[in-house]
């Protein structure tokens, strides 16, 4: 079959069972978009390329599929960089197809020429500059394989416009051969036996479950292991939803803004079993003070993460689902940890907050939201205080119901991610929890949601400042607030109405629940602008240079 390179790209996507592509057209991808005209693929046109890549990211997280994004060369491609870095740090599988100037002009500073393979080398699992159309089928098959296997991540394919127009004989490869890329799937059985022995010897074990549990679809296996051994479980932010929030063994989020029970349990444990985590600095805080009494077991598909940030006593490399399955077959049943569970239960009781009693406190808003929506509701967040309040207090019950920028902390992520999430889960309620600072970074994507009749609900915690930076300046700069306060805040309800959405502004606590109920029942896009106290802080908080057990809790 003789077709163009651009047509070959689309046929490859169809072979990979791609249904939706997010993107924005331009000159260097003209052949691709011309071929798309006759394709069965669904294309979502966002209002900015960053919106497209974040939407592809949100789609991938809720569906477990590989997200796909198109962009043109130059500024179109560079607008993807933040989203690519975000997906790389959070291990989200994406394939990004960018246009490039003609091969004869590469290296001449041609119009809209940018070295995308060079720019994205540190933030992709792999990338390609396609030089011949005949290589497209092989490259696309490799790109999808690399993106979704091992530790998932983004792969970029940069295609010069003349290569997209070249004719070639299309045949999609049946096999793939990448000698330098052989991800380990099964954990070594001798290492798993070492885990079994460590569990037998432990009196105060704790599990820390991260995003790798969700990526591996291993939540049920994790819960089986935890229930059998009666082990409490803490989550990283990326792991939230892997354990139901109302599960008796659940401790909450761990780390910088972690719940006291989670931070205390890790600090007092004699065995810490880390499953699918990368031990980022916001989780461990002071390295010397992290789990100082514990033997550490680390299960992860990425060998580069094991021992990178903390000393590990028992490393197990492989897919955490496979490891947990093997572990559950070998582990002794009904471990006696009653004394430890009683100690942990005291910490859980002590961490109950009174803050939700404040009239417009974020915790109260989150409690009202949780009482209105069901457990299948997907929550996306932007980045800032609202993100941490959500991670601390929203009762996630199922995997893939939290979509948030963890490693990169990209403001402006939430709304476009909600678009991707709603496209991927059209029958579920999708709520974007945002802040007034983050929301303004990509609010143009309201138009995308309206264009495709997406009934997304946006809940803005409006404190009229850059709240997280203001909080940091309060604690680190003696309250010298520099460039964080806003004198004039837009009326976000009016902005929503101008776009054609339902817009509401809430200042009174009695209005919170009715507004949420109206937004959820509304068949289209809704925006709720909730005015909260500017001075409200996210607590607990572990100061710089402190161990987890040295958190500041007052008012938390």
The domain locations on the chain are: 2-169, 189-350, 359-532
> What is the third-level CATH fold of 2-169?
Rossmann fold (3.40.50)
**Across the chain, what does the average pLDDT equal?**
96
What digits encode the pLDDT tens for the residues 358-390?
A: 778 999 999 999 999 999 999 999 999 999 999
Q: Do domains 2-169 and 189-350 have the same CATH topology?
A: yes
Average pLDDT of the segment spanning 308-315 = 97
pLDDT at 407 over 80: yes
Task: Tell me what pLDDT residue 336 has.
Answer: 82
The whole-number pLDDT of residue 203 equals: 95
Average pLDDT over residues 208-227: 97
Asked if 414 contacts 381 with a C-beta cutoff of 8 angstroms, the reply is: yes
Question: Is residue 190 exposed (0-12), middle (13-18) or buried (19+ Cβ within 10 Å)?
Answer: exposed
Residue 354 pLDDT class (50, 70, 90 cuts): low
- Residue 556 banded pLDDT, cuts 50, 70, 90: very low
What is the separation, in whole angstroms, between the first and last Cα of the chain?
65
| Position 101 pLDDT exceeds 70 | yes
Structure tokens at 79: 């607008």
Q: Is 387 exposed, middle or buried (0-12, 13-18, 19+ CB in 10 A)?
A: buried
How far apart, in whole angstroms, are the C-alpha atoms of residue 512 and residue 309?
Answer: 43
Residue 337 structure tokens: 């940890």
> What is the predicted pLDDT for the residue at 377?
98
pLDDT at residue 1, rounded to an integer: 83
Q: Average of pLDDT values for 290-318?
A: 97
pLDDT above 90 for 16: yes
DSSP H/E element including 21 = strand 20-23
DSSP 332-354: PSS---HHHHHHHHHHHHHT--S
Quote the CA–CA distance of 431 and 396 in Å, as a whole number: 13
Could you tell me the pLDDT band of residue 352, with boundaries at 50, 70 and 90?
A: low
CA angle, residues 530, 535, 538, in degrees to nearest 5 = 85
Pairing of strands 2-4, 167-169: antiparallel
pLDDT at 554 over 90: no
Compute the half-sphere exposure of residue 131: CA atoms within 13 Å on the CB side of its CA: 3
CATH class assigned to 189-350: alpha beta
Determine the CATH number of domain 359-532. Answer: 3.40.50.970
Q: Name the token pair of 363.
A: 């915790």
355 pLDDT higher than 70: no
Q: Supply the pLDDT for residue 147.
A: 98
Using one digit for the tens of pLDDT, what is the confidence trace for 472-502? 999 999 999 999 999 898 999 999 999 999 9
Work out the burial of residue 253: count CB atoms within 10 Å of its CB; fewer than 13 is exposed, 13-18 middle, 19 or more buried: buried
**Is the peptide bond prior to 138 cis by the omega test (within 30 degrees of 0)?**
no
For residue 136, pLDDT over 50 is answered with yes
Query: Is residue 342 predicted with pLDDT exceeding 90?
Result: yes
Nearest of 136, 106, 256, 277 to residue 206 by alpha carbon: 277
Strand pairing report for 233-235 and 167-169: unpaired
* Helical ranges in 432-544 per DSSP H: 436-439, 446-451, 467-476, 492-499, 512-521
Q: How far apart are the C-alpha atoms of 249 and 265, rounded to whole Å?
A: 12
Helix (H, G, I), strand (E, B) or coil at 44: strand
What digits encode the pLDDT tens for the residues 441-476? 999 999 999 999 999 999 999 999 999 999 999 999
Query: Average pLDDT of 23-51?
Result: 97
Q: Can you list the pairs that 33-36 forms with residues at least 24 positions away whose Cβ atoms lie under 8 Å?
A: 33/70, 34/6, 35/4, 35/6, 35/7, 35/9, 35/10, 36/10
Cβ-based burial of 197 (10 A; exposed 0-12, middle 13-18, buried ≥19): exposed
Question: pTM for the full model?
Answer: 0.96
Q: What is the pLDDT of residue 278?
A: 96
Q: Which two tokens stand for residue 516?
A: 């949420």
For the cut 70, the answer to whether the pLDDT of residue 290 exceeds it is: yes
> Please, where are the H alpha helices in 40-188?
49-63, 75-78, 81-89, 116-120, 136-148, 161-165
């Amino acid at each position: 079959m003789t077709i163009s390179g651009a047509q070959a790209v689309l046929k490859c996507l169809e072979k990979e069972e791609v249904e939706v592509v997010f993107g924005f057209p331009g000159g260097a991808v003209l052949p691709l978009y011309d071929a798309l005209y006759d394709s069965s693929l669904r294309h979502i046109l966002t209002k900015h390329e960053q919106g497209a890549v974040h939407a592809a990211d949100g789609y991938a997280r809720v569906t477990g599929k590989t997200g796909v994004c198109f962009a043109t060369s130059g500024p179109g491609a560079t607008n993807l960089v933040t989203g690519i870095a975000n997906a790389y740090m959070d291990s989200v599988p994406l394939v990004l197809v960018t246009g490039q100037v003609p091969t004869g002009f590469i290296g001449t500073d041609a119009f809209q020429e940018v070295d995308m393979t060079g720019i994205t080398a540190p933030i992709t699992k792999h990338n390609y500059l396609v030089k011949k159309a005949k290589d497209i089928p092989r490259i696309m098959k490799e790109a999808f394989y690399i993106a979704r296997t091992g530790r998932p991540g983004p792969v970029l394919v940069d295609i010069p416009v003349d290569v997209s127009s070249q004719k070639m004989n299309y045949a999609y490869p049946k096999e793939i051969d990448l000698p330098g890329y052989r991800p380990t799937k099964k954990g070594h059985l001798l290492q798993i036996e070492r885990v079994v022995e460590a569990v037998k010897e432990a009196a105060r074990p704790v599990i820390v479950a991260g995003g790798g549990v969700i990526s591996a679809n291993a939540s049920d296996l994790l819960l089986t292991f935890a229930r059998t051994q009666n082990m409490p479980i803490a989550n990283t932010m990326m792991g939230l939803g892997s354990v139901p929030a109302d599960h008796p063994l659940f401790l909450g989020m761990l780390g910088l803004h972690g719940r006291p029970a989670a931070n205390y349990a890790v600090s007092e444990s004699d065995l810490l079993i880390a499953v699918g985590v990368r031990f980022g600095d916001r989780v461990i805080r002071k390295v010397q003070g992290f789990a100082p009494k514990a033997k550490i077991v680390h299960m992860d598909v990425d060998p580069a993460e094991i021992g990178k940030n903390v000393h590990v006593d028992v490393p197990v490399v492989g897919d955490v689902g496979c490891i947990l399955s093997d572990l559950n077959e070998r582990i002794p049943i009904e471990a006696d940890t009653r004394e430890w569970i009683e100690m942990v239960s005291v910490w859980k009781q002590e961490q109950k907050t009174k803050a939700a009693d404040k009239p417009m406190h974020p915790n109260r808003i989150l409690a009202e939201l949780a009482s209105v929506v069901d457990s299948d509701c997907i929550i996306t967040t932007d980045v800032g205080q609202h993100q941490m309040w959500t991670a601390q207090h929203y009762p996630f019950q199922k995997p893939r119901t939290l979509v948030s920028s963890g490693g990169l902390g990209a403001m402006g992520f939430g709304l476009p991610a909600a678009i991707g999430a709603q496209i991927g889960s059209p029958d579920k309620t999708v709520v974007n929890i945002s802040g007034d600072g983050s929301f303004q970074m990509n609010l143009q994507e309201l138009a995308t949601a309206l264009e495709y009749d997406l009934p997304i609900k946006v809940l803005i915690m409006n404190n009229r400042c850059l709240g997280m930076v203001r909080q940091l300046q309060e604690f680190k700069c003696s309250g010298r607030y520099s460039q964080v306060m806003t004198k004039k805040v837009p009326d976000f309800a009016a902005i929503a109405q101008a776009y054609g959405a339902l817009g509401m502004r809430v200042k009174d606590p009695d209005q919170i629940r009715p507004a949420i109920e109206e937004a959820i029942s509304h068949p289209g896009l809704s925006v709720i602008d909730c005015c909260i106290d500017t001075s409200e802080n996210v607590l607990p908080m572990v100061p710089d240079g402190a161990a987890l057990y040295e958190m500041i809790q007052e008012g938390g």
